[in-house]
């Protein structure tokens, strides 16, 4: 029997504002779509948190025995600077700035995105489609919405008519906004604005002569509006109605609201059964922002190369830190919080290592069946990873007592405990046992001290070929050297 048949999973649905019993449309299959990154810069740590929340959800569904088709797109066109319908395309702007092709920008940051997620031990999605690979599908959807009379063309651009749509549909139902309020709170359209109402959004934008990313369409050369790609790709790979749509909280409006409107205008059906939204990551109590400098990249955490950090942290520690918060809560990152997570992570890994070596007894002082179900209950309650981790630490406490000889465990229970810990720590939370970065790893420290000394000697002798070779070969092995005012330190990724 598949595990999901014995577990009673509830998820928080943003559409209803309630926790609901999870029942997929087709009994053992799940279709899940998550809005992916816009690949115009290195992946943001906040985005990593959002994607990690859905990676954990994907992992738990798989563990429960569902067949999951997980689609996470790459936005490589159509995302304009201010998320509204004006400003430059983010990718085209970067391409102009660096004087390279837009597709070079896309390639560079897609590679960075994949590398970062791999370090954090993400599972790849089942399909990772791109906006530029689905221009034809997007044009077909626009034609359909135009035919239904819910969009209009002006000078080679096509806009979605929100007011017309609202006559028979509830625009704003996901974000809890009312069209009347939105109209009352928006500025008047300027004379040169092509839209009929300020709430209307672009399905297709005419490309001005200087616009480098352009495709032919029935309305002339142009490019698709940002919201459209997700409707095109989710419908293509998951059908007109599918189980789960996820993304960051900030995408609820306008992006996800517009996705619902586009799909309903086309098919007359609500496209998604459960809308799941992940909350944001703050840094030292404040919103992360590139412009204020309150910002940190994943690579800086792995190397320790940022002033707010006292040291480097292994990707699994970062993952453990993120899993210690519920995905719907705001999580604040700081050096102290990472230090605390690092301690917790090693305590868990040490206990799992120690469990292998403990002596077997004739009785168990610990009710394994009850504890195991408590772990499932935590995950079944809208993927409550902090409660799950609290239960894992209850097991850690028992393992330590068994190791001391204060408690005992039978052979059978030991096997159940090992298997359950492996399931939740590795398969569901996605942690890896990265023992090599432990502070008490004396051998590694000794070897590294020797290599750093040899490199310093080479540099003193102006033998830069040798010093660079030491550094580069270590980088290949995943060891980063960091030169600071107190000498050279190292970190292991
Ligand atoms: Zn999207």
Q: What is the pLDDT of residue 1?
A: 83
Specify the pTM: 0.87
Q: Residue 63 and residue 125: Cα distance in Å, rounded?
A: 15
| CA separation for the pair 324, 331 (Å, rounded) | 9
Q: What is the pLDDT of residue 123?
A: 98
Q: From the CA of 256, how far away is ligand 1's center (Å)? A: 7
Report CA(8)–ligand 1 centroid distance (Å).
29
How remote is the CA of residue 227 from the centroid of ligand 1, in Å? 6
Element (H, E) at 482: strand 479-484
Q: Ligand 1 centre and the CA of 34: distance in Å? A: 7
Predicted pLDDT of residue 446 = 82
| Residue 322, helix vs strand vs coil | helix
| pLDDT averages per 10-residue partition of the chain, 493 residues | 94 98 96 96 94 98 98 92 73 91 95 97 98 98 98 97 96 92 75 85 93 94 95 98 97 96 97 98 90 89 94 97 98 98 97 95 95 98 98 98 96 97 98 67 79 89 89 85 81 77
In the block, tokens 């940051």 appear at 109
Residue 225 main-chain phi, psi, to 5 deg: -70, 155
What is the pLDDT, as a whole number, of residue 85?
A: 67
Q: Give the distance (Å) from ligand 1 centre to CA of residue 255.
A: 6
Interval between CA 353 and ligand 1 midpoint (Å): 42
Q: How many Å lie between the centroid of ligand 1 and the Cα of residue 38?
A: 10
Using the mean position of ligand 1's atoms as its centre, give its distance from the Cα of residue 437 in Å: 37
Ligand 1 geometric centre to CA of 19 (Å): 23
Tell me how far the alpha carbon of residue 102 lies from the centroid of ligand 1, in angstroms.
Answer: 20
User: How much is the pLDDT for 437?
Assistant: 47
> Distance between CA 82 and CA 90 in Å, rounded?
9
Distance, CA 293 to ligand 1 centroid (Å)?
27
Return the axis-axis angle of helices 90-98 and 102-119, rounded to nearest 10°.
Answer: 110
Tell me, what's the pLDDT at 84? 63
Residue 17 in tokens: 């504002």
Which run of H or of E encompasses 417? Answer: helix 411-421
In 10 A of CB 406, how many CB atoms? 10
Distance 33 CA to ligand 1 centre (A): 9
Question: Could you tell me if 131 and 74 are in contact, meaning their C-beta atoms sit under 8 angstroms apart?
Answer: yes
């Amino acid at each position: 029997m598949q595990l999901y048949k014995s577990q009673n999973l509830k998820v928080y649905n943003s559409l209803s504002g309630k926790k609901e019993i999870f029942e997929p449309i087709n009994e053992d299959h799940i279709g899940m779509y998550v809005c992916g990154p816009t690949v115009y810069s290195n992946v943001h740590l906040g985005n990593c948190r959002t994607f990690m929340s859905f990676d954990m959800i994907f992992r738990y569904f798989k563990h429960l025995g569902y067949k999951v088709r997980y689609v996470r797109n790459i936005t490589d066109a159509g995302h304009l600077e201010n998320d509204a319908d004006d400003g430059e395309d983010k990718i085209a702007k970067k391409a102009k700035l660096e004087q390279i092709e837009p597709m070079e920008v896309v390639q560079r940051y897609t590679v960075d995105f994949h590398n970062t997620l791999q370090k954090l031990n993400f599972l790849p999605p089942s399909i990772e489609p791109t906006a530029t690979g689905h221009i034809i599908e997007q044009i077909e959807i626009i034609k359909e919405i135009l035919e239904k009379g819910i969009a209009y063309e002006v000078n080679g651009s096509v806009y979605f008519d929100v007011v017309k749509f609202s006559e028979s549909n509830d625009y704003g139902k996901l974000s809890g906004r009312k069209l009347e309020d939105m109209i009352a709170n928006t500025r008047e359209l300027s004379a040169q604005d092509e839209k009929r109402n300020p709430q209307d959004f672009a399905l297709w934008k005419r490309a001005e002569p200087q616009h480098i990313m352009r495709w032919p369409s029935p309305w002339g050369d142009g490019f698709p509006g940002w919201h459209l790609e997700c409707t095109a790709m989710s419908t293509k790979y998951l059908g007109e109605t599918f189980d789960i749509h996820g993304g960051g909280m900030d995408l609820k409006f306008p992006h996800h609201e517009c996705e619902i409107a586009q799909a309903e205008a086309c098919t007359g059906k609500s496209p998604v059964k459960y809308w799941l939204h992940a909350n944001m990551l703050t840094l030292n109590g404040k919103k992360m922002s590139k412009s204020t400098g309150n910002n940190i990249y994943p690579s800086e955490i792995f190397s320790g190369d940022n002033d707010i950090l006292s040291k480097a942290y292994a990707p699994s520690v970062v993952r453990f830190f993120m899993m210690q918060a519920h995905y719907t809560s705001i999580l604040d990152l700081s050096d102290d919080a990472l230090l605390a997570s690092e301690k917790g992570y090693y305590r868990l890994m040490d206990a799992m290592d120690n469990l292998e070596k403990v002596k077997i007894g004739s009785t168990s002082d610990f009710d394994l069946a009850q504890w195991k179900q408590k772990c499932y209950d935590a995950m079944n309650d809208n993927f409550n990873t902090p409660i799950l981790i609290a239960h894992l630490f209850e097991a850690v406490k028992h393992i330590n007592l068994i190791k001391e000889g204060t408690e005992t465990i039978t052979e059978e229970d030991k096997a159940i405990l090992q298997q359950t810990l492996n399931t939740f720590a590795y398969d569901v939370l996605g942690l890896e046992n990265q023992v090599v970065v432990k502070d008490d790893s004396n051998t590694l420290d000794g070897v590294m001290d020797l290599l750093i000394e040899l490199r310093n000697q080479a540099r003193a002798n102006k033998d830069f070929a040798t010093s660079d070779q030491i550094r580069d070969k270590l980088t290949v092995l995943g060891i980063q050297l960091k030169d600071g005012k107190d000498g050279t330190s190292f970190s292991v990724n």
